Amino acid sequence: MSCRPSAGFNDVCTEHTSLPQFVPQQNPASPSGLKFLFFSKQLSLKDTSWVRCIAPDILKDAEQLLGRFLNSSDVGLAIFDELTRYVAINDALATINCIPAEQHLGRTVREVFAGQLSAEAFDQVESSVLQVCTTAETVSFELTAQLTGRTEVGHFLNSYFPIKDDGGVVKHVGAVIIEITAQKKMAENLRRLTNDLEEERNRLEMLLEVNRALIGNLELEKSFSAISDTIRTIMKHDYASIALYDERSDSLQPYASDFPASKETIDSYTYVPAKTGPAGRAFMDGEVKLFSRDDLVQQPSEFTDHLVEHGIASLCCIPLVAPKGPIGTLNLASTRSFAFDVNDVELLKQVGAQMATAVDNARAHREIKALKDRLAEEKLYLEDEIRSELNFEEIIGESANFRKVLAEAKTVAPSDATVLVLGETGTGKELIARAIHRLSLRSEQTFVKVNCAAIPTGLLESELFGHERGAFTGAISQKIGRMELADKGTFFLDEVGEIPLELQPKLLRVLQDQEFERLGSTRTQHVNMRVIAATNRDLSKAVAEGKFRLDLFYRLNVFPLRLPPLRERSDDIAMLARYFVQNISRRMNKRVDTIPAETMSALVSWHWPGNIRELENFIERSVILTSGTVLRAPLSELRPSVHETAGSQNVLERMEREQIVRVLRETGGVIAGPRGAAARLGLKRTTLQSRIQKLGINPSEYES
């Protein structure tokens, strides 16, 4: 059925003597974009002054022209009397109302729209018409109603204005009705779209913030509460946690949690076993699981009971899947029922993907760190073993008194204290000094050795401190001394008891102030070195005899380390003999793997006045003489042990003294050099000096 009215506006306007003038004007500020200005001046249709702008040939049709003009408008127009009865209506308004125009005329608004408008709407229309009639002022309002013939609610802008007679009395009320349903829809859709975009922006910002918090975060447990707060800006959850799968126990173990409402830590509750419980189901199925309060009550456990006690009514468990597979779950709970919708689940899936990567990285970092710590501990242990074994690889011995010396060396090595190694010639003083260096904090630096007895007195100062060009005859270039070479390292002074008295003050200054001057230079050189000294002399006796400075002795004797002679280490002789046989035979490309019992017994019984050096030389002669795999030692060279009888010892010492005195007479008291007594006796100079001192021989008595 058509809603278009049958009667036109011009059919009814002849009953009235005056009509308002309608002037349309664009106004973007109004809701409809169109506003009508209504002038209350009464214009008579018989007064043609208002139509002087109309062509003369149509003046006689002015009323028809006005009617056609009003009916051609898309805006609803109507005229009411003071009782809200329709006096006139145009086609546009009849179409808006879905009621023919003739069904409006002479009827009130209540009669026309009975059953379509609410009581409030009728009251608003009637009160507005009454207000215009009494105040002669325009009244505008918005009306919402679902009219007959429409499937949806419509929205209308209503504007009522007065129509006055010649005396200025309001006789009728004009109405302009504009439908704004489409605009309302557009505005609502725009608002909804804006809200959706705002919500999406907030979700993306939350994901970004979570990602920022997770990137490079290797201590997720400590920062999880802050991450939970970030998620809470979008989802108002009351509890959050991460549970990780433990393969050994086949359970989900707590990793991190955030439960502000609970004073207890949720970490005390475990998800055991992994195949049961809310989180376990999500983990095993590999999909998001939602649980209501009833679901939690039906799955009683220490964990779920704790949640229910704190009013949790909704739980969402999201599986965490790393590249290698599922590793655990992310769990969020709320005190609100059905707190998580489809959009929340999709968002939590994205959060779960980020969380899985971060947790996997954190676990990998923790495992790597644990392995590194373990390797570091093993390294320290092995280094300690190496220090105990390999740093003394050249020092063979298991006797109690010798191991005590090694323990003392290990104790003093890490410090920078000066060490004085005491012992007879051939006891291995240099080996102990090198071992102390390897165990010290200077092990990566240089170990510099100077044998004070092997360098002539005139050259010793230059060797120790260096010299400048022209410092003395023959000094054709600058020379850096051994002490400068030992800077930041260890300086080993072997046979320190042989240093002349005139050089001892300079050495004392180096020990005290770590500074000296080269020969021929006034420039002070500074060094940072550790000093280890060694001697076979009795320095305290030398001090008493005035041959060694007391203050220098005190400086050197900070940590004395006395090496026992080989005769006091009889338990080590067999071990040393086998060691020397193995090394020397390998060096000579021989295979000697057996030492006869008779030979070993003789080796152990001998008192070894030359100590380890004498033993090594004896073994070397024996290997040279050996043609098979069994060691052939010249046992005739080994005299009876010093422990056998005091008489034999006295005879031995007397024979040794006589031989040394004879050779000294022949050499004029010269010990060193190719023609000296040491060369003739086949001994090292230091060994001969030691024997001379022990036997109380004075070489100066035999000088030429």
> What pLDDT, in 10s, does the model give residues 521-560?
888 888 899 999 999 988 888 898 888 999 999 999 999 9
Confidence of residue 593 (pLDDT cuts 50, 70, 90): confident
Q: Look at residue 477 and tell me if it is in a domain.
A: yes
276-288, pLDDT tens digit by residue? 788 888 888 889 9
Q: Look at residue 698 and tell me if it is in a domain.
A: yes
CA torsion, points 346, 350, 352, 355, in degrees to nearest 10? -160
Residue 378 vs residue 258, higher pLDDT: 258
- Predicted confidence (pLDDT) at residue 643 exceeds the cutoff of 60: no
Q: Residue 215's pLDDT is what? A: 77
Confidence of residue 16 (pLDDT cuts 50, 70, 90): very low
Q: What percent of the chain has pLDDT over 90?
A: 15
Q: Residue 597's pLDDT is what? A: 87
Angle between helices 342-389 and 220-232 (to 10 degrees): 170
Same domain, 449 and 492: yes
Q: The domain that contains 592 carries what CATH number?
A: 1.10.8.60
Of 124, 148, 179, at which residue does a domain stop? 179
215-263, pLDDT tens digit by residue? 766 677 777 888 888 888 888 888 888 888 888 778 888 888 888 877 6
Q: Judge whether 162 and 18 are in contact, CB under 8 Å.
A: no
Q: What is the mean pLDDT of residues 438-447?
A: 89
Q: Residue 303's pLDDT is what? A: 78
Q: What is the mean pLDDT of residues 611-629?
A: 89
Q: Residue 324's pLDDT is what? A: 84
Q: Residue 177's pLDDT is what? A: 92
Same domain, 168 and 70: yes
Q: Residue 56's pLDDT is what? A: 52
Question: Which residues have a Cβ under 8 Å from the Cβ of 77 and sit 6 or more positions away?
Answer: 9, 22, 70, 88, 89, 90, 92, 93, 174, 175, 176, 177
172-206, pLDDT tens digit by residue? 999 999 988 888 889 888 898 888 888 888 888 88
Cα separation of the two ends of the chain: 157
Q: Look at residue 268 and tell me if it is in a domain.
A: yes
Question: Which residues have a Cβ under 8 Å from the Cβ of 50 and sit 6 or more positions away?
Answer: 21, 43
55-69, pLDDT tens digit by residue? 455 445 555 666 666
- Which residues constitute the domain of residue 27? 9-179
Same domain, 343 and 232: yes
Q: Judge whether 681 and 659 are in contact, CB under 8 Å.
A: yes
- Predicted confidence (pLDDT) at residue 332 exceeds the cutoff of 60: yes
Q: Residue 21's pLDDT is what? A: 36
Q: Look at residue 185 and tell me if it is in a domain.
A: no
Same domain, 31 and 149: yes
What is the strand order of the sheet 251-258 is part of?
A: 251-258, 239-246, 325-334, 314-322, 289-292
Both tokens assigned to 516: 């000296």
Q: Look at residue 379 and tell me if it is in a domain.
A: no
Same domain, 357 and 406: no
Confidence of residue 645 (pLDDT cuts 50, 70, 90): very low
Q: What is the mean pLDDT of residues 366-392?
A: 57
Among 298, 305, 264, 261, CA closest to 281: 298
Q: Residue 299's pLDDT is what? A: 82
Q: Look at residue 22 and tell me if it is in a domain.
A: yes
Q: Look at residue 688 and tell me if it is in a domain.
A: yes
Same domain, 549 and 585: no
Query: How confident is the prediction for the chain on average, in pLDDT?
Result: 79
Is pTM beyond 0.85? Reply is: no
Euclidean distance between CA atoms 549 and 539, whole angstroms: 9
Euclidean distance between CA atoms 129 and 313, whole angstroms: 55
Residue 414 vs residue 214, higher pLDDT: 414
Confidence of residue 380 (pLDDT cuts 50, 70, 90): low
Report the half-sphere exposure of 125 (CA within 13 A, side-chain side). 28
Q: Which residues are paired to 76 by β-bridges?
A: 177
Euclidean distance between CA atoms 47 and 49, whole angstroms: 6
- Predicted confidence (pLDDT) at residue 19 exceeds the cutoff of 70: no
Q: Residue 347's pLDDT is what? A: 85
Q: The domain that contains 524 carries what CATH number?
A: 3.40.50.300
Same domain, 423 and 543: yes
Q: What is the mean pLDDT of residues 579-604?
A: 89
Q: Look at residue 372 and tell me if it is in a domain.
A: no
Same domain, 247 and 327: yes
Q: Residue 413's pLDDT is what? A: 92
Q: Which long-range contacts (CB under 8 A, 24 or more apart) does 411-417 make?
A: 412/436, 412/559, 412/561, 413/437, 413/438, 413/439, 413/440, 414/439, 414/440, 414/441, 415/440, 416/440, 416/441, 416/442, 416/530, 417/558, 417/559
458-491, pLDDT tens digit by residue? 788 888 888 888 778 777 777 888 888 888 889 9
- Predicted confidence (pLDDT) at residue 387 exceeds the cutoff of 50: no
Structural domains counted in the chain: 4
Question: Which residues have a Cβ under 8 Å from the Cβ of 376 and sit 6 or more positions away?
Answer: none
Q: Residue 15's pLDDT is what? A: 38
Judging by beta carbons within 10 Å of its beta carbon (0-12, 13-18, 19+), is residue 657 exposed, middle or buried? middle
646-687, pLDDT tens digit by residue? 555 566 677 788 788 888 878 888 888 888 888 888 788 888
Same domain, 547 and 406: yes
Confidence of residue 704 (pLDDT cuts 50, 70, 90): low
Of 542, 562, 582, at which residue does a domain stop? 562
Distances (CA, A) of 128 to 23, 36, 82, 113, 386: 22, 18, 10, 17, 106
Same domain, 573 and 539: no
Euclidean distance between CA atoms 21 and 198, whole angstroms: 47
Confidence of residue 697 (pLDDT cuts 50, 70, 90): confident
Specify the range with the lowest mean pLDDT, choosing from 182-196, 255-269, 375-389, 561-575.
Answer: 375-389
Q: How does 103-139 read in b/e, with b if 16+ C-beta sit within 10 Å? A: bbbebbbeebbeebbeeebbebbbebbbbbbeeeebb
Alpha helices in 146-266 (DSSP H): 181-214, 220-232
Question: Identity (one letter) of the amino acid at 367?
Answer: E
Of 366, 392, 419, at which residue does a domain stop? 366
Q: What is the mean pLDDT of residues 164-175?
A: 89
Q: What is the mean pLDDT of residues 5-25?
A: 37
103-117, pLDDT tens digit by residue? 888 999 999 888 888
Q: The domain that contains 273 carries what CATH number?
A: 3.30.450.40
Same domain, 449 and 546: yes
Same domain, 668 and 644: yes
Q: Judge whether 234 and 332 are in contact, CB under 8 Å.
A: no
